[in-house]
Structure 1
Amino acid sequence: MRRHIIALAVAAAGATGAGFTVHLLVSDGPQRKGAVMGATESIGSSTAGRGAAMAGARPFDRAGLRRTVRAYLSGRPGKAGVMATDLRTGLSFGENEKGDFVSASIMKVDILAALLLQRQRADRGPATGGGRGLNPASGERDLGLSDGQRDLASQMIRESDNTAADALYSAAGLSAGVRKANRRFGMTDTKPFSTSWGSSWTSPADQVRLLTNLASEKSPIEASGRRYILGLMGSVVDEQAWGVSAAARPGESVALKNGWTPVHDQGNGWTVNSIGRITGRDHDFLVAVCSGDSPTMEAGVATVEHVSDMVVDALRDSRP
């Protein structure tokens, strides 16, 4: 059993619209089923592996899962939505996946993805001229970020630092810049707030679209950029390794980003969100769970983790 001890240190955080919380996990057992670590980009698996995984699986009962999720959420405070897909089997499930939720800090992944897309499009040749050159070690294009921006990106994703997010949101062109990138990503539900990135609106469906752009070779983001973002998401500090990681099993890798903030003008109580990728031998899940109006952060975390576990387990044990 895992117990959450939450020490609140809510800050106005300037224009970010997202406070910060020291979230401590005290565990009577394993903190989570899988380890939070960088996920590989490859989404393929052997035919034999998929066949073995599907041999004992039952047909996917979408209607049954929907009833189960709705029954659980009807007894929880606040509201929630979920979207999940398995890139290996093609199975997917959504419940209130188009619902509007305050983004809080999951918006930080979108900020970094937009900035990297902008930098690769602005490639002007050799790095000495201010453009992006080739990395001699990998043979791939450099990301186009300065050393300072790399430090900020690490702080923003791994530590959920709001000041770092402010700086990179500005570098990405604020709401206009991120909105333009989101059109390339196919994100139709996300509405970046003009200056306060944490006050943006998004949906679980859009967050899975964003994750797909980090996992797919068809993404407009180059391979080096995709690996970079997933690597940061796979190395978040321990106290933030909650959320969709609750759905991982031993031996699976998790790359995630969580968002949490008390809201006043856009709802009540707490917004608690978690997005991420869970990669194993037979499955490659992209998961987004958003919640709002929870009376406490702890209540929101419990909802997000339970819904993640419930939906991913159903997809894991099913076949198309």
Structure 2
Amino acid sequence: MRAEWASWVAGPALVLVVGCGTGRAPVVPAAVKAPVKVARCFLKFPNKRGGRAARIRLDRDLSQYVRTRSGRVVYGVLDLVTGVRFGQGDHEHDMITASGAKVDIVSALLHQRSGGLDEEERELAERMIRESDNKAADAMWSRVGGGGAMSEFYRDVGLRETTPGPGIYWGGTKTSPADRIRLLKVLIKGGKGLSAGDRRLVLGLMGQVQSDQAWGVSAAARPGDRAALKNGWTPRPFEHNSWAVTSYGRVVGPGRDLLLSVQTDQQPAEGTGIETIEGVARMIGTRLDDLSPTTPRSCPRNPFA
């Protein structure tokens, strides 16, 4: 009896089906299905006309900005994602690199070595690029073999618009924005005798420069983008007591792998050069996406009909 009672209490579904009396069992309505939402399909097509118009506007605005600045200003741009490339004076190859040549020196020594740098050389490389230490650069310039060895390195990696500084003066190395971008491409894409580990070392150090030297082409970065760069700055007392200020590097983020070099000389002060470089970089970074716009179009309803 207890077992029967327990089974009756424990089975409310059975009560509904069996029930009491002679009335009909209640009808349970069928479940109503929610309407299915069909996602609309769109394809994106390059808007070449819009891109050309945006490029004309950007070239015009950059030219107007540069004309308002002191001294000479040249720059080169390449986005590895979209293939967008442009510049102004980007093949002028008499621009002093100053400390920008420190990346060249480390890269040239790695190019010579099949086993990478020893512990002391690695420490020197870190001081050269992260802190822009000149004494470390002097030591590494000697180890790499000076200007003659640097000329061989430039020839091997295809930098035809770069000339090493005379004698012990590595800071007198002259280059063009186009060659700075070529060097960045070698460090990113490989080949030319630099291993993946070599390239990671150099780019990693460029991404860790100390905060007071992180100015320059980093101004092209959007929130969340990452920058790896090397800057150069030097007084030129025999050139009307002016300054040469340069910056080149890589800015990476969603839909973007931007290589940018901005070089200036005949600047009245270091700060003026920095301000000019960041003005150019900021304008390029803000408007780069406009140069490769797309137009959305609905997908064909039955493309196989």
Q: Name the TM tier (shorter chain).
A: 0.7 to 0.9
Residue 93 of structure 1: aligned partner: 86
- State whether residues 274 and 290 of structure 1, in contact with CA within 8 Å, keep that contact through their aligned partners in structure 2: yes
**Residue 199 of structure 2 corresponds to residue 226 of structure 1:** yes
Partners of 1:110 and 1:52 lie apart in 2 by 41
Pair 1:201–1:217, CA change in 2 (3 A): closer
The 5 Å alignment of 1:153-232 reads: 153-194=125-166, 195-232=168-205
- State whether residues 278 and 284 of structure 1, in contact with CA within 8 Å, keep that contact through their aligned partners in structure 2: yes
Residue 243 of structure 2: aligned partner: 270
Residue 105 of structure 2: aligned partner: 111
Pair 1:220–1:197, CA change in 2 (3 A): same
Q: What's the % identity of the aligned pairs?
A: 42
Higher relative contact order (CA 8 A, sep 6+): 1
Matched residue type, 2:283 = M
* Superposition deviation, residue 307 in structure 1: 0.7
- State whether residues 267 and 292 of structure 1, in contact with CA within 8 Å, keep that contact through their aligned partners in structure 2: no
- State whether residues 84 and 312 of structure 1, in contact with CA within 8 Å, keep that contact through their aligned partners in structure 2: no
- State whether residues 97 and 204 of structure 1, in contact with CA within 8 Å, keep that contact through their aligned partners in structure 2: yes
State the superposition RMSD in angstroms. Answer: 2.1
Structure with bigger helix share is: 2
Residue 71 of structure 1: aligned partner: 64
* Superposition deviation, residue 266 in structure 1: 5.3
Partners of 1:288 and 1:316 lie apart in 2 by 18
* Superposition deviation, residue 93 in structure 1: 1.1
Normalised by the length of structure 2, the TM-score is: 0.77
Partners of 1:257 and 1:250 lie apart in 2 by 20
Which structure has the larger Rg? 2
Structure 1 gaps of 5+ residues are 1-50, 121-131, 133-142
Normalised by the length of structure 1, the TM-score is: 0.73
Pair 1:296–1:246, CA change in 2 (3 A): same
Partners of 1:315 and 1:256 lie apart in 2 by 19
* Superposition deviation, residue 54 in structure 1: 6.8
- State whether residues 246 and 263 of structure 2, in contact with CA within 8 Å, keep that contact through their aligned partners in structure 1: yes
Over 4 Å off, 4+ runs = 51-55
* Superposition deviation, residue 219 in structure 1: 4.3
**Residue 284 of structure 2 corresponds to residue 311 of structure 1:** yes
Structure 2 gaps of 5+ residues are 1-42, 294-305
